[in-house]
Structure 1
């Protein structure tokens, strides 16, 4: 394989949201809340925990890689030939939180996965914000 073939791309979605990191953390780590904006799951915020996201179109195999409460969460996102990592970063701001989602590991020969993630994550983050707005 050449360097160009092994080089990977990332999808990054960043936005400022008017909610504190603690509230966003709950929506990122509590299974019933994750199910409202992303997919059904049996997530636990524990490094090494293996879980699945499941939807009508199939499932994603995941393993928690990093847990820094209210700051950073990372898990693998393996769907078929796609082996990637999703990392959430929360940084407090004066009026809420800067929320950053990065999915890394898209190979150049996986344009369908990359395009799907580029289109899908902004929609998931919109749903996430709707869930946050309804939470106590």
Structure 2
């Protein structure tokens, strides 16, 4: 199975980044571009559900939170609408002297091409995150 890791320094505390990851309104504000009119639902507890969707783009992703450690990270299953394959996403937050390092590990792709597509997607998402921090 193929996987990817994307990491980025963010100029905010882990507490602030955590809120941007787990507050549905904040998550929707940065996850996809504004033209997607993104909606998000998140029950931030182990066994809780995650749903990020865009009616204009005709896409969405659903997952189940499999691990959660407030202000340090979470893990979730990840299934795109209409796709039978389920992958796994782990997001870790590490305090740094001048902010937070966010590390996204996405595993379980059937091939390297799918993993490469998701590298671009995660980079795009994380590039928008500082705008809400």
TM range (shorter): 0.7 to 0.9
Spell out the pairing of 1:1-136 with structure 2 (5 A cutoff).
8-38=1-31, 39-55=38-54, 56-79=57-80, 80-108=83-111, 111=113, 113-132=114-133
Residue of structure 1 equivalent to 2:35: none
Runs (4+) off by over 3 Å: none
* Residues matched between the structures, number: 123
Alpha-carbon distance between aligned partners in 1 of 2:51 and 2:100, rounded to the nearest angstrom: 27
Q: What's the offset of the Cα at 1:44?
A: 1.6
SS in 1 for 2:86: strand
In structure 2, the gaps of 5 or more residues are 32-37
Alpha-carbon distance between aligned partners in 1 of 2:18 and 2:60, rounded to the nearest angstrom: 23
Alpha-carbon distance between aligned partners in 1 of 2:126 and 2:46, rounded to the nearest angstrom: 23
Q: What's the offset of the Cα at 1:114?
A: 2.1
Q: What's the offset of the Cα at 1:88?
A: 0.8
SS in 1 for 2:120: helix
RMSD between aligned residues: 1.4
TM-score by length of 2: 0.85
**1:53–1:62 CA contact under 8 A, matched in 2:** no
**2:73–2:90 CA contact under 8 A, matched in 1:** yes
Alpha-carbon distance between aligned partners in 1 of 2:50 and 2:96, rounded to the nearest angstrom: 31
Residue of structure 2 equivalent to 1:3: none
Name which one, 1 or 2, has greater alpha-carbon Rg.
Answer: 1
TM-score by length of 1: 0.84
Q: More displaced, 18-27 or 51-60?
A: 51-60
In structure 1, the gaps of 5 or more residues are 1-7
